[in-house]
Structure 1
Amino acid sequence: MRLPISRLAATALLSLTGALLVPTAAHAANIVTNPGFESGLSGWSCSNGQAVAGPAHSGSYALQATPAGADYARCSQTISVKPNTAYTLSAWVKGPYVYLGVDGGGSTWSSGTDWNKLTTTFTTGASATSTTVYLHGWYGQGPYNADDVVLDGPGGTPPPQDTTPPTVPGALTVGRPTSSSLALSWSASTDDVGVDHYEVSRDGGTASNVGNVTGYTASGLSADTTYRFKVRACDAAGNCSAYTSEASGTTTGGTTPPPTGLPKHILTGYWQNFDNGATVQRLRDVQDAYDIIEVSFADADRSKPGGVTFTLDPALSSRLGGYTDADFRADIRTKQAAGKKVVLSVGGQNGTISVGDPTAAANFADSAYRLMQTYGFDGVDIDLENGISPTYMAQALHSLQSKAGAGFVLTMAPETLYMQSVGSTYLDLALRVKDILTVVNTQYYNSGAMNGCDGKAYGQGTVDFITAQACIALRAGLRGDQIGIGVPASPRAAGSGYVPASVVNNAIDCLAKGTNCGSFKPGTTWPDLRGAMTWSTNWDASNGNDFSTNVGAHVHSLP
């Protein structure tokens, strides 16, 4: 039988070489600049992102970005492409709710703790010359990582490079001083159409992107202090104008919150008005080491936006053999007679109370004050984990304090994510109510890794994580006596982040005395650090009272 020519050629080739030679597969083209973040963020435009060493898929570095408030940590790059052309976009990612996509095109996402590959495809339009690829996380989630971003396809012809900066903004003024903030305003650049954002520098420091606005409030400032500012305009190509002339402003004198009758250093514990498997307690049975007892939780008044109510849980009452409302009120008085403060906590994981306008703010203040009068609560705790409006919640809290008068106790228990910067919702709120704030007990758990005040990422459950997070709020303008360390009382009390009492005590020592620090050591100390908090007194009881015994003794021994 005669072989076809192609088979004859192959047979001849085999006879000469002993093997059939086939062409090798072409490697995927990649037209992304700095795809592995080995050159930092060069080529990328990122919010709340940085190139970090360590959790890399390949090479030495990877992207780590942390959503904060309404900012879901987008990192993007605009790339020249060809029209009517198919492209494949991929990246290796890990973390909660990581999105990969193309502006105007498709996207994909994943949520995993290990590296996994995301891939999406798209075809450019008939007149397309560039496309923007992006990665981002999601609201209320922890940091995500990304590495090895690939856009597989032919590169286009880059447009002519823009090297012309916008014109200098004008008429910078500084006014409306408070004890912790100054309001800036300026005239827009005459090249305002080409302006992408403005940058503000304080006291000659690194410029901060404040967006495409002509006004900005510098917060987290020290009282009775003069600050110097200057502003410049920048375009999307990274060209920035010269700075305006400096303008200065002075904050007003600070105020110390009214006295509450609490010790200098305190232990705070949440008491559960429900049964979730922890030891059930009558309020009078709460361990004596706790100086503030947070009653968890108030309920939303469905008839009045922003309003709160409280009812002793009937199921808990049954478990305790008939614990009545009158018994509960008597227990509050008993604890107060022993020098303790009993506070009503608003929120929790399932709290749905929203204070987003003046009416809701008034309803909150009025209803919370009625509960204080009815039960004898010493104040309120803000533990809303489903979002807050700093403007209207601050309005509500100032109104409530004016009604309650002397001895009012105001505490907060924000999640770590919401205390990451002065623009974060809870830190913003804390600074707005600094004049009446007793203590912020940030929940240093259920959070994963977070960036500390030194810009480095630390994993939860360590001395470094607690101290580097606490110093963000301290450097933002809160006093040491307004900062407490919040941790779970037992491994069962939270999804993650439990630490032994020794770790809590070491973190307290590091912040208050500069001793027992980990690899991170703040440049200063805060001897008046307020203390520590735990969820919850019930879980503490289930864990042999380890927290109240060991952390309580350490807190109360501070000078």
Structure 2
Amino acid sequence: MVGATALILTGLATDAASAPAPLSEPLADANADVNVVKNAGFESGLAGWTCAGDSGATVSSPVHGGASALRATPAGQQHAECTQTVAVQPNSTYEMSGWVQGGYTYLGARGTGTTDVSTWTPDSGDWKRLNTSFTTGPSTTSVTVYLHGWYGQAAYFADDVSVYGPDGGGGGDPDPEVPGVPSGLAVGAATTSSIDLSWAPVTGATGYHVYQDGSKVLTASGASATVTGLAADTSYSFQVSAVNAAGESAKSAAVTGKTRPSGGGGGGGDVPKHAVTGYWQNFDNGATVQKIRDVQDAYDIIAVSFADATATPGEITFNLDPAVGYGSAAEFKADIQAKRDAGKSVIISVGGEKGNVTINSDASAAAFANSTYGLMREYGFDGVDIDLEHGINSTYLTKALRQLSGLAGSDLVLTMAPQTIDMQSTSTEYFKTALNVKDILTVVNMQYYNSGSMLGCDGNVYSQGSVDFLTALACIQLEGGLDASQIGLGTPASTRGAGSGYVDPSVVTAALDCLAKGTRCGSFKPSRTYPDIRGAMTWSTNWDATAGNAWSRVVGPHVHGLP
């Protein structure tokens, strides 16, 4: 403990009045002098530094410069010493300094070959500069630079350490250049009080400043951030700049984001009481190719079809198909935001005829929730549609959706599109899942197509394509425990939209009137009416466009006109 004792005695002999004044840049030849400390601002974590007993870590706040600083915490008999050995030249003078904050903090150098030096400060609530100098001996080629706190004292913070002098052969910590202006700033998911932002990473940036209506509101270490504390149903302008130890870039181009209104409908979001859902095709299969901006205004929920499974069970990703004509992901995201600004909900659909995601364990449930929420944040999706057609596990899918709801909050839009066979009984895995998540479920749009004849809630068999087929099968869900606001009728938009099961749009409106009002029924008439019936769904907005929007022009106004 000899070194520690010497330090504390030196500290006691130095008061504020006699402390050396902060130094400016070294007076030696600028061409010869370099900062021989590597990772001087801790922007690369603890690279180059060794902290005793794992006492050190990097933090994003507080920082003196850049986006990171050292935080070291004394514990027991160790005083959280962090060291770095630097290369120096013999018989040379070096100016040493560092910015510190927090508990007792010491800065020093040993192994100089002459007189080892140190300086210190007691507790400091603000950043304070420590500085000293040393001269190397005739055969000294390396020196150990150290920082440490003191036993029983609070953690200390350190940043921007420098040892300026002749290059000892190890090179210097290069002075960074001011980073470029961030590009690709986009608005992601929004709640009633927060908005997610993302942008393209900037080379050389160690952090980013986010501006809201011209005022800096937060600093981020990566290329995304969530602005919180916002008012509901309010538009805000955002910009972002890139920073490092050299300074701050100019601000990016501004984007506008709007928070959700208070008290959205259904299971979350802005879904209206009576809503129309349409699937948008992220591929070209002969139907009219659309961009999201082209989706007909009648659709309240737009399900982007489809997410892709990864090699990790439960995990999903999204790959924008070049066939749909987008020049960039940013353009796609901007279209999503424009629809959301118009009061629509845009969600990511999982599954489809050929797609499948395996969710059959706690790990895969977590992977699904985390990856889905990641896509919501990245693209601005309002939620997810479950269109799995190859078997599900209700236990683990329920866990996955619950975890997603915990991440996304009450604004999550959650829809399902089971096949008719999947909803024949409350004992099926799909029906059990729907009931398990009833409190966060927006709508189940059962696919009334590609199924043939099925049983209705009265035990009779009804043929696909009739009013009775739509109403008697919806009745099973209504009597099985789902709320009327969670029931939608899913039909193809044209004869080309599905293999079978197409009905004229007038059949859809008749079934809706039968369920909501008790009128226009066929041979089957429910025992009561369901005026809160959510609405209808179609596959797809693209096939609807191919057929001259015949489906949405009839079904859309009818749904929106329900009581």
Query: What whole-Å deviation, never above 9, does each CA across 1:296-319 have from its counterpart, x for those lacking one?
Result: 0000011x11000001012333xx
Residue 371 (1) aligns with residue 371 (2):
no
Answer yes or no: is the 8 Å Cα contact 2:275–2:559 preserved in 1: yes
| Cα pair 1:278 1:539 within 8 Å, conserved | yes
2:512 is aligned with 1:508: yes
Opposite residue 399 of structure 1, the aligned amino acid is Q
* 1-structure distance, mates of 2:322, 2:456: 43
Partners in 2 of 1:436 and 1:536 — Cα distance?
A: 25
Q: Show the counterpart of 1:536.
A: 540
| Among 315, 318, 327, the residue aligned to 1:307 | 315
> Aligned residues: percent identity?
63
Please name the residue that 2:460 is paired with: 456
Return the offset for 1:432. 0.6
Conserved? CA contact 1:467–1:507, under 8 Å:
yes
1:266 corresponds to 2:270: no
- Tell me the distance in 2 between the aligned counterparts of 1:407 and 1:548: 26
Q: Tell me if the contact between 1:269 and 1:290 (Cα under 8 Å) persists in the aligned partners.
A: yes
SS of the residue aligned with 1:440? strand
Q: Would you say 1:288 and 2:292 are equivalent positions? A: no
C-alpha deviation, 1:263, in angstroms: 1.1
Partner of 1:522: 526
Q: Map Cα deviations across residues 133-159 of structure 1 (whole Å, 9 max, x no partner).
A: xxxxxxxxxxxxxxxxxxxxxxxxxxx
Deviation track 1:274-330 (CA, whole Å, cap 9, x = no partner) reads 00000000100100010000000000011x11000001012333xxxx532111100
Q: 1:539 to 1:258 in 2, by over 3 A?
A: closer
Q: Cα offset for 1:426?
A: 1.1
Equivalent of 1:414 in 414, 418, 429: 418
The answer to whether the 8 A contact 1:257-1:435 is kept is no
Once the two structures are TM-superposed, the CA of residue 424 in structure 1 deviates from its matched residue by 1.4
Match of 1:395 among 375, 392, 399: 399
Shift in Å, 1:491: 0.2
Structure 1 letter corresponding to 2:299: Y
Alignment of 1:337-348 (within 5 A): 337-348=341-352
Matches within 5 A, 1:490-509: 490-509=494-513
Shift of 1:258: 5.1
Q: CA–CA distance in 2 between the matches of 1:508 and 1:462?
A: 12
Q: Offset of 1:548 from its aligned partner?
A: 0.9
Aligned pairs (5 A) from 1:9-88: none
Q: How far apart, CA to CA, are the structure 2 residues paired with 1:390 and 1:435?
A: 16
Q: Which amino acid aligns with 2:271?
A: L
Query: Which whole-Å CA distance do the structure 2 matches of 1:336 and 1:259 have between them?
Result: 14
The corresponding residue for 2:550 is: 546
**Contact residue 266 and residue 443 of structure 2 kept, 8 A:** no
Distance in 1 between residues matched to 2:270 and 2:339, nearest whole Å: 14
**Secondary structure of residue in 2 paired with 1:417:** helix
Mapped pair 1:362 → 2:366? yes
In structure 2, C-alpha distance between the alignment counterparts of 1:492 and 1:439, rounded to whole Å: 25
* Residues 164-210 of structure 1: CA deviation (Å, up to 9, x unaligned): xxxxxxxxxxxxxxxxxxxxxxxxxxxxxxxxxxxxxxxxxxxxxxx
TM (normalized to structure 1)? Answer: 0.53
1:526, 1:395 → 2: CA distance? 30
Would you say the 8 A contact 2:493–2:543 is kept in 1? yes
Q: Find the aligned partners of 1:454 and 1:397 in 2 and give their Cα distance.
A: 32
Gaps of 5+ in 1: 1-255
Per-residue deviation, residues 193-243 of structure 1 (Å, max 9, x unmatched): xxxxxxxxxxxxxxxxxxxxxxxxxxxxxxxxxxxxxxxxxxxxxxxxxxx
- Tell me if the contact between 1:264 and 1:530 (Cα under 8 Å) persists in the aligned partners: yes
Following the alignment from structure 2 to structure 1, what is the Cα–Cα distance between the partners of residues 509 and 267? 28
Structure 1 position 472 matched with structure 2 position 476: yes
Is 1:427 the counterpart of 2:435 in the alignment? no
DSSP-derived class of the 1:532 partner: strand
Distance in 2 of aligned mates of 1:479 and 1:366 = 28
> Is the 1:453–1:471 Cα contact (8 Å) retained in structure 2?
yes
Alignment of 1:117-516 (within 5 A): 259-302=268-311, 304-317=312-325, 322-516=326-520
> What letter matches 1:279 in structure 2?
T
Instruction: Give deviations 1:321-376, integer Å, cap 9, x for gaps.
Output: x5321111000000000000000000000112110111110000000000000001
Where does the alignment leave 5 or more consecutive residues of structure 2 unmatched?
Answer: 1-264
Code of the residue aligned with 2:482 in structure 1: it is L
1:262 is displaced (CA, Å) by: 1.6
For 1:257 and 1:393, how far apart are their aligned partners in 2?
20
Number of corresponding residues? 299
Return the letter of the residue paired with 2:497: A
CA contact (8 A) 1:354 1:360 kept: yes
Cα distance in 2 for partners of 1:555, 1:417 equals: 25
- Structure 1 pair 436–545 and aligned structure 2 pair: CA distance change class (3 A): same
Aligned amino acid, residue 316 of structure 1:
V
CA 485–338 in structure 1, closer or farther in 2 if over 3 Å, else same: same
Shift of 1:407: 1.2
Asked if the contact 1:282/1:323 (under 8 Å) is kept, the reply is no
Give, in whole Å, the separation in 1 of the partners of 2:337 and 2:480. Answer: 37
- In structure 2, relative to structure 1, the CA distance for the partners of 1:364 and 1:431 (3 Å cut) is same
